[in-house]
Structure 1
Amino acid sequence: MVELIPTGLAVLAAGLICTALVTMTVGNFRAAGFSFLCASLVIYFRETRYGDGRPA
């Protein structure tokens, strides 16, 4: 069975990285940096809380 919370967090991180790449392409570097920062925090939260598929 698919673990919904870790999978959702991974999808959210991927979406934030895609958003950052798009905003960086159009020249909005502040929004791109904020999106990269949020993506890294989501990845950190996912790996520390749900690294093995179960909450810590």
Structure 2
Amino acid sequence: QASEPDLTSKIKNFGASSLNPNDKDPAGDVFDLLMSIDKTGKRAKAFATALVGEQQ
């Protein structure tokens, strides 16, 4: 279980990285963030794909 401050910092860090134009894997960043919340990964992958789109 992620602690509250840890999760907050992850979300803030994700917000910063998602604005980085050099980021080659935005869906991966979303996936990594959500994996820290959803250990099964199933909802995380579905959400990341819906949010960013399928990566080619």
The structure with more radius of gyration: 1
Comparing both structures, which one devotes a greater share of its residues to helix?
1
Normalising by structure 2, report the TM-score.
0.41
- TM-score, normalised relative to structure 1: 0.41
